[in-house]
Amino acid sequence: MRGENLESVKVREQIRSVLDLTKAGDIMKTEFEVVDPDTTISNVVSRMRALDLHEIPVVEDHNKFVGIVSYASLIKRRNLPITTKAKSVVEIPPKITSSTVLTDLAEKVVSTSYRQMPVLRGKRISGIVSREDIVRIVPKVKELASMPVSEIMTTDVRSVREKDPIRVAVDLMSKLEIRTLPVVDDGGKLTGIIGIKEIINYNWQERRRETVGELVGSSEPIEIEVGSLAIDHPLTVAPQAHLHEAIRIMIDNKISTLPIVEDEKLKGIITTYDIVELVASFKARDMVYVQITGLEEEDRLSLDVMDEEIERGLKKIAKISKPALFTLHVSKYNEAGNVAKYSLNGRLITEDKVFVAKATEWNLMKATISLMHTLSEMVKDAKDEMVDQRKKARLSL
């Protein structure tokens, strides 16, 4: 079943009911790794490297939960000495219990961007649930399993070139709040994948580290090319591949990012996060779930106005197709002296399909208005196309 056929409220309710048969307690792992609050960042990262983790819980007194340490949070706090203790850098995620249903669980994962989160019983951890645990359920829902990946992939893919310095990749990951980037040659052909894990592993082995920034290559960055650390010959799928095929490749090969390639050219990318976001869009809610990330502190004064423009745009879209979930990431670049340029990437999931759009402007409000206008036009065009297809189908009977 293609995305446009998911328009029926009844069908969406049926999909949600199937998804929510699964609860966090059904899929969580009861054996998991933790660190002590007084463990140094150096030892935390060493543990995470060894176990291939992007987050690790911090506990005290027989699994009493203190918080989470993540690669993402460490990248943002690059000036921290690596002798800093874990308890000083923990984050507190939304609460998940064993009875949290799958769509609610997916929304909580989307809100944090964590790859794994603790399941609590009272104040203690009883298990860990990951993006992959959520993604494994999707192939059991035939309407989702048969969707082409082209319908949910991100088409505006930021990539790095083989000859770019590693610091370019680190800066881009930090700006976009992502941890993996495709690597392309001068002709735009996909040649590899680079992740924060590869960068940290290299820094860990090759240099003396005193701060988190030195660990991830953002302070006194290592002068090595992206191509030297990238994983060659990455697994890929074609745009027409079904979602269950992409999930199988991800799960079987323990990867979270899958490039979409056609005629050797990078057409898009799909991640476990995108699939979790799709699951979250089926959660029963009275209002559209909206999440804005990437705003710098000085731009947060504009948040209220942004919210108003987004709400106005979503109301317009709702007259055509009911929105379920909207996420927006803001990137800021200083291209002309001290004048900032804003790049906005939005993903909108409606009752019909998934829409991805981008807007770039010197003014944050203009960028927001432009993005919502683009999404509105995309939704309208998709609806018109669906109507035309139905007319042709009736005429052929």
Supply the pLDDT for residue 213: 55
Question: Tens digits of per-residue pLDDT, 74-88?
Answer: 777 767 788 899 999
* Residue 256: C-alpha distances to residues 44, 56, 126, 321 (Å): 22, 17, 25, 30
142-277 and 285-395 share one fold: no
Supply the pLDDT for residue 376: 97
Supply the pLDDT for residue 118: 97
Provide the b/e sequence for 246-266 (b: ≥16 CB within 10 Å): bbeebeeeebbbbbbbeeeeb
Q: Where are the domains of the chain?
A: 3-138, 142-277, 285-395
Supply the pLDDT for residue 154: 87
Tell me the pLDDT band of 174, cut-offs 50, 70 and 90: confident
Question: Tens digits of per-residue pLDDT, 19-69?
Answer: 999 999 999 999 999 999 999 988 998 898 888 898 999 999 988 999 999
Tell me the pLDDT band of 169, cut-offs 50, 70 and 90: confident
Tell me the pLDDT band of 100, cut-offs 50, 70 and 90: very high
pLDDT at 369 over 60: yes
Q: Which fold has domain 3-138?
A: CBS-domain (3.10.580)
**Mean pLDDT of all residues in the chain?**
87
pTM: 0.82
Q: Tokens for 160?
A: 């790095």
Supply the pLDDT for residue 85: 95
Please give the helix or strand (H or E) that residue 120 lies within, else none: strand 116-121
pLDDT at 219 over 70: no
Please state the rounded mean pLDDT for residues 219-226: 66
Q: What is the DSSP annotation of 233-265? A: S---B-TTSBHHHHHHHHHHHT-SEEEEEETTE
Q: Give the least confident one: 69-83, 91-105, 309-323.
A: 69-83
Q: Which CATH architecture has domain 285-395?
A: 2-Layer Sandwich (3.30)
DSSP state at residue 190: E
Q: What are phi and psi of 129, to 5 degrees?
A: -125, 140
Please state the rounded mean pLDDT for residues 153-160: 86
CATH code assigned to 142-277: 3.10.580.10
- 3-state SS class at 65: strand
Supply the pLDDT for residue 99: 98
Higher pLDDT, 345 or 6: 345
Question: Tens digits of per-residue pLDDT, 186-206?
Answer: 888 899 999 877 777 776 555
List, in order, residues 6 or more apart from 93 with CB less than 8 Å away: 67, 68, 108, 112, 114, 117, 118
Please state the rounded mean pLDDT for residues 7-17: 81
DSSP state at residue 189: B
Burial of 45 (0-12, 13-18, 19+ CB in 10 A): buried
pLDDT at 343 over 70: yes
Tell me the pLDDT band of 4, cut-offs 50, 70 and 90: very low
